[in-house]
Structure 1
Amino acid sequence: MSFELVELPALSRFTVDRREPLRGDTERIAQLWPKARAITVDTHGRTLVADHGTRLVDRPATDFGDGPPDTAVLLGEQDGVAWWAVPTADETDVAAPAGRAWFAPELTDEPQWLDLRAVGALLDDTGAGLFTSAVALFHWHRSASFCAKCGGSTESVKSGWARVCSRCGREEYPRTDAAVICLVHDGADRVLLARGEGWPAGRYSVLAGFVEAGESLEACVAREIAEEVGVEVTGIRYLGSQPWPFPRSLMVGFEAVGDPDEPLRPADGEIAEAKWVTRAEVRQALAVPGSVPDLLLAPGASIAYRMIQSWAAAD
């Protein structure tokens, strides 16, 4: 039995026009600047949010000068308003605890500095898209300060969507690493979930891995599932995708069918535990987190959550 995603993954949502020509149109950018809005993002990938994490706190772009700062990135335009992101120093010394991928902060009405994992699923479509793009771009800028060809220093151009080498003139653009993520089920009412090494006790998700050079997405799915849990899969089918800028992945989601009678062989050093779980158990764990012993599921900002939710909702 196949299924479809019930909604877009949280970080796949985007509403502003992000077409490339605007990024190099200095005249249009100058015209839009007086009414432009901006968000700030610190080096931990956090921005200021309010209303229990549901709203980005933005500012007039003119707070940052008469024109875009060299370090700013253009996120897009909507209804005649240009949206920018500006990097800032860390606004607080408070860091997420160990295991930050599962960090669930206490949300308040007051403005808070929080990261994309914590609030990506809570923001509206516009806010989620803006914050996701900003985090991805700033991750790339921090790692691309020097030219990969000659080692010269690089500077930001095209409104933050490219960097050019000051020595050889080589241009570089933001990179994305392809990764697959697959929900394996038995074709009926059981799903295969796994807990990664170092994850909190009871935390389970679907399986994922990076695409290797010269490898198709489908071949990667089959290889990763076999490597991580020792199960051969069939019926590999595309579901959807989501950017995951930690630091620069594109998660390409699939479903596949596996045999629950095959012995599970978790990969040493990578998978701590793996198990088959019933649809009823997954539905209960989604409805009331913590209500099913030893079954805490992926957080809402991830495509893994949307895949598990969609499979559980299927008849």
Structure 2
Amino acid sequence: MARLCRVTHWQQVSHLDRRDEWRDDEAFLDEIARSARTNCLHLDHHGRVQATEAGLHSTALTGGRQPGDLFLGQVGDDFWWVRRDAEAGRDVRDLDLTDEQTQLAFAALALSQWHGSRPTCMRCGAATRAERAGASRRCSACGAQVFPRTDPAVIVAVTDHDDRLLLTHARAWPGNRVSVQAGFIEAGESAEQAVHREILEETGLEVEEMSFVSTQPWPFPRSLMLGFTARADAAGLNLDRRELAWGRFHTREELDRAVVEGRLTLPGPLSLAIVLIRNWADL
């Protein structure tokens, strides 16, 4: 059941060059922080970014680099930083961003939120500090160095033998939002094993075959989504009502009509979920 996936910017060379080779040169980092080509994104303490209808809002690094400023890297001729000092912001998932802006925003969110979650050492409990312009943290007591963490998860578009797509509504979601199935990979588990387990746990379906599609970072707070398609017998559908309020298999015509009439709301434009749904819908 191998399928062609539309190419997304996550499958191409990143717009953002992390510039690892600069991160030990504090004098050079201070210099580029004062450069006219430097831009700074601003987040609030809930991980929301300052933005307008036109896209991300950035400023110069007024007064140069400050403690807590994190270097994202270089895009074209411009240098990018992130500072967590905004009073309020907007949820990135609600914005219509260019590919370049999406990559910048996701990097800023993932890095900033990881630093906020690691103020103390997991070995000895002492305070940690950012190093290498935010590429790592180091314990002030025992010297242990830690790096940004990413949690892998699978996201799966399940179809039945009639090529209908399963969409479900989680109890925690607002309104009539639906999506494909997703879940974290457990310790000592492969991605493929996670697909089998998650689909069985959430829907009661036994996956008969699967194909890997693509990956995407999802910094809410720090996931890497591994996208799959899978096939299962619809007769076995038995939703885990503790997590899923409702769900069903849809034909393309049924889904299109439900979305047009406002009875269902699909995932946002930045998600791998909508890529999986559109790949199926376009066949």
Give the SS at the match of 1:233.
Answer: coil
2:137 maps to which of 163, 187, 205: 163
Q: How far did residue 29 of structure 1 move?
A: 2.1
Q: How far did residue 290 of structure 1 move?
A: 4.7
Q: Greater relative contact order: 1 or 2 (C-alpha under 8 angstroms, separation 6 or more)?
A: 1
Report sequence identity in percent: 36
Residue type of the partner of 1:23?
Answer: R
Structure 2 gaps, min length 5: none
**How many pairs were matched up?**
281
| Residues 1:263 and 2:263 aligned together | no
1:302 maps to which of 271, 274, 280: 271
Give the SS at the match of 2:268.
Answer: coil
Q: How far did residue 5 of structure 1 move?
A: 2.7
Cα gap change, 1:308 to 1:10, in 2 (>3 Å):
farther
Partner of 1:208 in structure 2?
182
TM-score, normalization: structure 1? 0.83
Partner of 2:280 in structure 1?
311
Residue type of the partner of 1:60?
Answer: A
The answer to whether the 8 A contact 1:281-1:292 is kept is no
Q: How far did residue 276 of structure 1 move?
A: 0.6
Distance in 1 of aligned mates of 2:24 and 2:4:
38
Q: How far did residue 19 of structure 1 move?
A: 3.8
Partner of 2:69 in structure 1?
72
Cα gap change, 1:55 to 1:149, in 2 (>3 Å):
same
Partner of 1:38 in structure 2?
40
Instruction: Give the superposed CA RMSD.
Output: 2.1
The answer to whether the 8 A contact 2:216-2:224 is kept is yes
1:49 maps to which of 41, 51, 57: 51
Partner of 1:95 in structure 2?
none
Residue type of the partner of 2:252?
Answer: R
The answer to whether the 8 A contact 2:42-2:86 is kept is no
Q: How far did residue 310 of structure 1 move?
A: 1.3
Q: How far did residue 292 of structure 1 move?
A: 5.7
| Residues 1:176 and 2:176 aligned together | no
Q: How far did residue 25 of structure 1 move?
A: 2.9
Alignment of 1:52-201 (within 5 A): 52=53, 54-61=54-61, 63=62, 65-66=63-64, 68-91=65-88, 113-119=89-95, 122-186=96-160, 188-201=162-175
Residue type of the partner of 1:257?
Answer: R
Cα gap change, 1:23 to 1:159, in 2 (>3 Å):
same
Partner of 1:109 in structure 2?
none
Cα deviation per residue 1:20-70 (whole Å; 9 max; x = unaligned)? 2222233432342323111111112222222x2x42111112x1x23x222
Cα gap change, 1:29 to 1:291, in 2 (>3 Å):
same
Distance in 2 of aligned mates of 1:204 and 1:79:
37
The answer to whether the 8 A contact 1:264-1:274 is kept is no
Q: How far did residue 149 of structure 1 move?
A: 0.1
Residue type of the partner of 1:300?
Answer: P
Structure 1 gaps, min length 5: 92-112
The answer to whether the 8 A contact 2:168-2:181 is kept is yes
